[in-house]
Amino acid sequence: MSNPFNAADWYWLIGGQVYASARNTYVDAADAAYVAWRTANGTPPAAAAEADVWPAVSRFLPAWLFDGTTFTQPTATTYSRAQLKAYAASARYAKEVGGHAVNGVNYPTDRDTQSKLTAAALFAQVDNTQTFKWKLADGTFTGALTAAQMISIAAAIGGFVNQCFAAEQSVCVHIEDGTIISLPEIDQTFASIS
């Protein structure tokens, strides 16, 4: 009896190799789980390349795995250097735009806010008599901020963003030299940024 299609637990023949979506890796044709699946479902669908299968598996696999051509892992529990670097970029972006506390106040740090903070800091330098109101991550507004305070906030957030990119660069160096080989190691690096 055939199982209903479940892209998260399916097999494809990609370029003649057996791809197991549940493990996101290629398996041997004698793999016990594949043999059992094939007994129930018959020959898996064929695809010329991994990119042809991506639309089916992209609903449950993280986007950073797919480089436009490939997305499979070397094993179910390991990643290629390119995949680790893509994950590091994704982790950096999440940290970068996830907000940052300055003097105990949580400010949004999405890209739009970063641009507006830069403009506000420039404006504060041009006219240091200005006061500013700023919308916070929780939707409330600050009290009046002086030009010096606005510059200080923008500098703190700019420094935080710089730390995020510096951490990504460091992680990529360690991925290349083989001292970072797992997602938790990457996560730990970004968790240490405050």
Average pLDDT over residues 64-76: 94
Scanning the structure block, which residue is given the tokens 């957030």?
A: 157
Q: Could you read off the pLDDT of 12-67 as tens digits, one per residue?
A: 999 999 999 999 999 999 999 999 999 999 999 999 999 999 999 999 999 999 99
Angle formed by the axes of helices 183-191 and 147-176, nearest 10°: 160
Cα-trace Rg, the chain: 24
Q: What is the pLDDT of residue 137?
A: 87
2 pLDDT more than 90: no
Spans of all domains in the chain: 11-62, 94-192
**Structure confidence at residue 117 (pLDDT):** 96
